[in-house]
Amino acid sequence: MPVVKVIEVLGISEKSWEDAATQALKGATNTIRNITGLDLVSQTAKVKDGKITEYHATCKVAFRVE
């Protein structure tokens, strides 16, 4: 029976929340193998002078442990 571990990562983008989630997954794949899922936990943003300057996506990444 497989074992799955879940970690939380934060992706950051100047484009969009979707890109921030993509960056979170991309960063996780640099060091983690066997990723099976991603859960978008929250979306936040940095604001300067009334405009969004950074999109943040907090994600849970699930992967099989071998």
Which CATH number characterizes residue 41's domain?
3.30.1660.10
For the chain, how many structural domains are there in total? 1
At 20, the pLDDT band (50, 70, 90 cuts) reads very high
Residue 60 in this model has a pLDDT that exceeds 90? yes
Structure tokens at 9: 């990562």
Q: How many CA atoms lie within 13 A of 35 on its CB side?
A: 17
pLDDT reported for residue 2: 87
What's the whole-number mean pLDDT along residues 21-44? 97
pLDDT band of 66, cuts 50, 70, 90: confident
Considering the entire predicted model, what is its pTM?
0.89
Give the model's pLDDT for residue 1: 80
Amino acid at 60: K
Domain residues for 50?
A: 3-65
